[in-house]
């Protein structure tokens, strides 16, 4: 049974308006940021309660409701919300400057960043321009946002198309889209797969690499197969979601261990904001990652899995 939420779009509109108001200043008001964070948590909790009362989960929401729920859930992580507001400010500022440079100071730019299927949508009128951008761009550098604004508001060129496609193919972009997907895909949390038990693998990895001192996060297999990213750590839920692709007896145990280890390093090292950008794969992170006993072999296996999928094998 699919569940449609009648007022969820109106709630999204209200949230987007609050975000846009906050993003009018390069340094958002901290108290208002907390108010927005609490409002998002209340909405998400209410949606989850509606689903629970009908003995189902947000995965059984209709497509549009599920998309908005995932987006709001993503923003209940305070670091994600901060990046989102900062990116909204940067995009609005870049777009407004672009119109001013063309002598169109009277055009007011409205920016929305959301869970979008494509890269962007835009609508330009005589006095208003609306730019709707994929959530995947919240961590993009200004030079990428500049070409995005150019393409969305003034037309594509070969250079803007290449720059956008390059970023959209990056790990920074796909990490965010994967997180949005996995928020609802892990329907019933289960650490026991057909072939691999994540609890047992955690105990092994924790003992070997963290001196058995890392507090175990929630561990679950997703309901979907993925081939570009094989797991994700959700700080807001303290949960590691592993792709169903890895629960396969043809894949060696050390490969699954490596992916789990990688995600546990996200929990261990945390996220850092560097010059307004979210950095999860810091130099410290990469140094720790290479300590895995079969690092090169595991990396090669994951590349093979991805290439088999691309070639249709």
The model's pLDDT over 237-255, given as tens digits with 9 standing for 90+, comes to 788 989 888 999 999 999 9
Does 313 score more than 60 pLDDT? Answer: no
Residue 38: predicted pLDDT = 95
pLDDT level of residue 311 (50, 70, 90 thresholds): very low
0.75 exceeded by the pTM?
no
Report the 10 Å Cβ neighbour count for 288: 18
Whole-number Cα distances in Å, 38 to 11, 15, 140 = 14, 11, 26
The model's pLDDT over 11-52, given as tens digits with 9 standing for 90+, comes to 999 999 999 999 988 888 899 999 999 999 999 999 999 988
The model's pLDDT over 69-107, given as tens digits with 9 standing for 90+, comes to 999 999 998 889 999 999 999 999 999 999 999 888 889
The residue among 238, 151, 153 whose CA lies nearest residue 202 is: 238
Residue 75: predicted pLDDT = 95
The model's pLDDT over 252-301, given as tens digits with 9 standing for 90+, comes to 999 999 999 999 999 998 877 666 566 778 889 999 999 999 999 999 99
Report the 10 Å Cβ neighbour count for 2: 10
Angstrom distance (rounded) from CA 36 to CA 46: 15
């Amino acid at each position: 049974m699919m569940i449609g939420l009648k007022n969820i779009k109106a709630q999204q509109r209200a949230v987007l308006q609050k975000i846009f108001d906050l993003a009018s200043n390069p340094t958002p008001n901290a108290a208002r940021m907390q108010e927005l964070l609490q409002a998002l948590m209340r909405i998400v909790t209410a949606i989850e309660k509606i689903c629970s009362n009908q003995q189902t989960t947000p995965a059984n929401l209709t497509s549009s409701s599920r998309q908005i729920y995932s987006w709001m859930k993503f923003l209940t992580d305070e670091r994600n919300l901060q990046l989102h507001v900062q990116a909204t400010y940067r995009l609005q500022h870049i777009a407004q400057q672009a119109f001013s440079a063309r002598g169109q100071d009277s055009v007011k730019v409205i920016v929305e960043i959301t869970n979008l299927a494509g890269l962007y949508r835009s609508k330009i009128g005589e006095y208003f321009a609306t730019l709707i951008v994929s959530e995947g761009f919240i961590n993009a550098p200004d030079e990428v946002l500049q070409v995005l604004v150019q393409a969305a508001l003034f037309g594509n060129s070969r250079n803007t198309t290449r720059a956008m496609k390059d970023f959209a193919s990056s790990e920074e972009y796909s990490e965010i889209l994967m997180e949005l997907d996995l928020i609802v895909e892990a329907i019933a949390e289960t650490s026991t797969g057909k072939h691999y038990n994540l609890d047992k693998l955690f105990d092994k990895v924790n003992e070997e690499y963290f001196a058995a001192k890392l507090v175990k996060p929630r561990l679950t297999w997703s309901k979907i197969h993925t081939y570009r990213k094989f797991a994700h750590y959700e700080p807001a839920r303290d949960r590691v979601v592993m792709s169903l692709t890895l629960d396969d007896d043809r894949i060696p145990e050390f490969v699954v261990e490596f992916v789990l280890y990688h995600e546990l390093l996200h929990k261990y090292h945390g996220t850092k904001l560097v010059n307004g950008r979210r950095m999860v794969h810091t130099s410290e992170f990469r140094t720790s990652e290479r300590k895995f006993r079969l690092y090169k072999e595991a990396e090669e296996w994951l590349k093979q899995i991805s290439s088999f999928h691309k070639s249709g094998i």
